[in-house]
Structure 1
Amino acid sequence: MTPPYHPPVKRSVAIAGHKTSISLEPLFWTMLKEAAATRDMPIAALVTEIDAERIKADTPPGLASAIRIWLVSNAVDRT
């Protein structure tokens, strides 16, 4: 297992047909992969949904921040 205090890892994800790079710590990549699997959808599709929610905010955070917030919020909702 990767230590929890690991620097972010950059990966490319396609959103609405164009690739974008997202930097997340390995823990968040694991959480994102698990969330996508739970929803039976590709990671890119889940990131697209999170991005759509993010841009509706009055002051939208960056995409990586939005993903982290979404993951933590959804983890709390499941407890």
Structure 2
Amino acid sequence: MSGRPRKHSLTLRGHRTSVSLEDEFWHEFRRIAREQGRAVNELAAEIDEGRGTAVGLASAIRVFVLDQVRERPS
């Protein structure tokens, strides 16, 4: 895996966009969506709606992933 961000395509509420995420964050984000029984686009749209204008979508996804990892039982 690479530590460099790569662009990943998403469709949010019918609009195509992309986010630049490191592979590690992207793989974990996809795993979380799968565990929740949700589509990646659906989860990304929810994060997008709650992030406000001061935070980019990629940053909001990273924080979401970090929060989810921290909440896992050890």
Report if TM-score (shorter chain) is over 0.5: yes
Gaps of 5+ in 2: none
* Selected match of 2:63 from 61, 69, 72: 69
2:14 to 14, 17, 22: 17
| Deviation beyond 2 Å, 4+ runs, structure 1 | none
Distance in 1 (alpha carbons) for counterparts of 2:67 and 2:11: 23
Residues 43-62 of structure 1: pairs in structure 2 closer than 5 A: 43-55=40-52, 60-62=54-56
Offset, 1:69: 0.5
- Aligned match for 1:41, one of 27, 38, 42: 38
The separation in 2 between residues aligned to 1:25 and 1:69, in whole angstroms, is 13
| Amino acid paired to 1:63 | L
**Which amino acid in structure 2 is aligned with residue 47 of structure 1?**
A
How many residues are aligned here?
A: 73
Q: CA deviation at 1:42?
A: 0.9
User: What is the RMSD computed on CA atoms of the aligned residues?
Assistant: 1.3
